[in-house]
Amino acid sequence: MQLLDMIKTVKDVSEGVYKNLNSKFIAYAMPFENINLLNGILEKLKKEHPKAVHFCYAYRCGFSDEWVRSNDDGEPSGSAGKPILNQLYSFEVQNILVVVVRYYGGTKLGVAGLIQAYKESTREALENAKYIEVFPKKKIEETLDIETYYLKIEWIKKNQYEIVYQEFIDKNVILHYLVEI
């Protein structure tokens, strides 16, 4: 896997809708950097759409596709998650999750119809999205005395880096921050 210099991702949540034979497919594309949040996102969508029958998804995370996954959620194998994931590759986006919520309309669409529906709803969500470029970051951990800490904080703010953790212990500070690499 090659580490990329920059990736394109969505800025915030966007939606796409596709309808076929009374079935409705609502795609939600969203920024996604932490796979541990997946279950919470799915639970939230299930509460928002209690009558939906499927919550199929795909995601790509990391600067070298460290985490890639798709899920058909009970649809025929390869008919939902894979078409969603293929759209992520087509749009060349990463650090993204797309969940497609399906409401069943009473008529079976067949595998080809399902592939088309999941692909088109995802495509629309990605076309409606606003994109940003993100650069890889490295986590720096330092233990500093108080005086050096305040100088480091000024430097971090000046460079617009992100502090992720700090802990004051006696006359020292443990500082974790992210810098672009």
* Better-predicted residue by pLDDT, 104 or 2: 104
With contact defined as beta carbons under 8 Å apart, do 122 and 83 qualify?
yes
**pLDDT for 137 beyond 90:** no
With contact defined as beta carbons under 8 Å apart, do 31 and 20 qualify?
no
Neighbour count for residue 53 (Cβ, 10 Å): 13
Q: How many helices (H) and strands (E) does the chain have?
A: 4, 10
- For residue 168, tell me if it sits in a domain: yes
Segment 90-108 shows an average pLDDT of 95
Residues 146, 57 share a domain: no
Question: Which range among 110-114, 147-151, 164-168 shows the weakest confidence by mean pLDDT?
Answer: 164-168
Residues 88, 67 share a domain: yes
What's the structural domain count of the chain? 2
Range(s) of the domain holding residue 29? 7-133
**pLDDT for 120 beyond 70:** yes
Contacts of 34 (CB under 8 A, 6+ apart): 61
How far apart CA 51 and CA 113 sit, in angstroms, is 21
DSSP string covering 142-155, please?
EEEEHHHHHHHHHH
Q: Which of 6, 51, 59, 54 is nearest to 29 (CA)?
A: 59
Q: Which of 119, 117, 51 is nearest to 86 (CA)?
A: 119
How far apart CA 154 and CA 144 sit, in angstroms, is 14
Residues 87, 69 share a domain: yes
Please provide residue 53's backbone torsions phi and psi, each rounded to the nearest 5 degrees.
-105, -20
Residues 144, 124 share a domain: no
What is the chain's alpha carbon radius of gyration, rounded to the nearest angstrom? 21
Q: How confident is the model at residue 151 (pLDDT cuts 50, 70, 90)?
A: very high
pTM across the whole model? 0.77
Instruction: Tell me the residue type at 15.
Output: E
What does the pLDDT read at residue 1?
Answer: 43
Which CATH number belongs to the domain containing residue 87 in this structure?
A: 3.30.230.30
Give the pLDDT confidence of 30-41 residue by residue, as tens digits. 999 888 899 999
142 Cα distance to chain centroid: 30
The half-sphere exposure of 79 on its side-chain side, counting CA atoms within 13 A, is: 16
Residues 66, 37 share a domain: yes
